[in-house]
Amino acid sequence: MACYQLQLSVMYYIQEADGSISQHYGPPPTHLVPINTGLPTAASTVVTPTMSDDSQEDPRKGFGPSKLGVRTTVDEPLSASQAIEVLQAGNRRFVRGDVKARGLGPDKRRALASHGQRPIATVIGCADSRCPVEQLFDARPGDIFVLRNAGNTCTHAEGSMVGSVEYSVLNLETKMILVLGHTGCGAIMGATKLYMERYIEMTRPKDAQESTDQSTEASESEQPQQLCGCKKSTLLKLLDALVPVAEQACVELGGGSTEEIAAHAVKVNVWRTINFLLSYSLIIREKVASGEVELQGAVYDMSSGAVEFLGKSPKQAQLLNSDAHVVPSMQA
């Protein structure tokens, strides 16, 4: 004989973060306790969120303190040092395969919908499908404010990226901005191959060019078209804008193979994005200068799963003296 569990629906009230009381009907959420509203009701349950066990959680071992089991506006913002500890702990769990983040139940989804978001950090990452930011930090919905594009860069549509970071530090009160590159980045490799083709080949002696293996030259020269589908495309413009990153990497290394230059260019590109944010956002500069917000870099190793945290830009002190308020593409 089949057995069915009946779920009771009742009228209940939830006290919001601002002290107001909202009315609901349905199965009452869990993790709630009665409050006294003075409302005369016989069949109603008046409830308010309780402190969950997560509120006392050690940031180095979990997701950071949360009163409703997820990070919402009822929680205090985490400091930059606390945020880094949470991200590092999450990445260690990811590397071990001991992840804690699971799907959210209805109570936690409602908490996020009703009480807003209080993410622990803002992360600019690459659009590469192998580098899912939330997963590699073992984070839940509401934990990280994520911005992604090809090459984790501000070379194009920079207004969207910079404006979104400004929103996160002003409205969501995130104290840590992390620019996250990754090994094997296709955008960086494409830009490096363009650099090698356009600049390195031009400087080689004629006899050296003739002795180069023709099949290798053809393969590298055709790569940009294979990436873009044609000689003129938006993607090619994006790679063009990243060529200076490859050039700087080559200079810093004193030369090298395409693979070596591209690998170093990943870090160069992280610094470039950080420096762009500092150069063209007065909001970010002021927050960083006051010590309220930190802006750091990191690189995700796709093979090991580990994130290398690089710290602050070597040019931060210099760039804090910049006087630009708006990104170049949005200047009148």
- Report the alpha-carbon angle 116-154-311, nearest 5: 75
| pLDDT for 161 beyond 70 | yes
Q: Which residue has the higher pLDDT, 13 or 201?
A: 201
Whether 185 has a binding-site annotation, put simply, is: yes
pLDDT of residue 177: 98
How large is the average pLDDT for residues 306-329? 90
pLDDT of residue 103: 82
Which string of DSSP letters, residue by residue, matches 69-138? SS--TTSPPPPHHHHHHHHHHHHHHHHHT-----PPPHHHHHHHHHH----SEEEEEE--TT--HHHHTT
pLDDT grade, residue 233 (50/70/90)? confident
The residue extents of the domains of the chain are 53-182+289-330
The Cα 172–Cα 185 span in angstroms is 30
Q: How many percent of the chain have pLDDT more than 90?
A: 59
pLDDT grade, residue 326 (50/70/90)? confident
Q: What rounded mean pLDDT belongs to the chain?
A: 81
pLDDT of residue 203: 65
Residue 59 burial (CB count, 10 A) = 20
| pLDDT for 139 beyond 60 | yes
| pLDDT for 275 beyond 60 | yes
Crossing angle of helices 186-195 and 214-228, rounded to 10° = 130
Give residue-wise pLDDT tens across range 57-95: 455 456 778 899 999 999 999 999 999 999 999 999 999
pLDDT of residue 198: 83
Whether 182 has a binding-site annotation, put simply, is: yes
Closest CA to 128 of 309, 310, 307, 302: 302
Using the CB atoms, write b or e for 207-221: b if 16+ within 10 Å.
eeeeeeeeeeeeebe
**Strands laid side by side in the 307-312 sheet:** 144-149, 121-126, 176-182, 294-300, 307-312
The Cα 8–Cα 79 span in angstroms is 42
Query: For the domain 53-182+289-330, what is the CATH superfamily, name and number?
Result: Carbonic anhydrase (3.40.1050.10)
Distances (CA, A) of 304 to 96, 106, 127, 142, 228: 10, 34, 19, 26, 29
List the structure tokens of 213: 């293996």
Give residue-wise pLDDT tens across range 204-226: 665 555 554 454 444 444 444 44
Whether 128 has a binding-site annotation, put simply, is: yes
| pLDDT for 19 beyond 90 | no
List the structure tokens of 168: 């996160």
Instruction: Say if CB 158 and CB 327 are below 8 A apart.
Output: yes
Whether 24 has a binding-site annotation, put simply, is: no
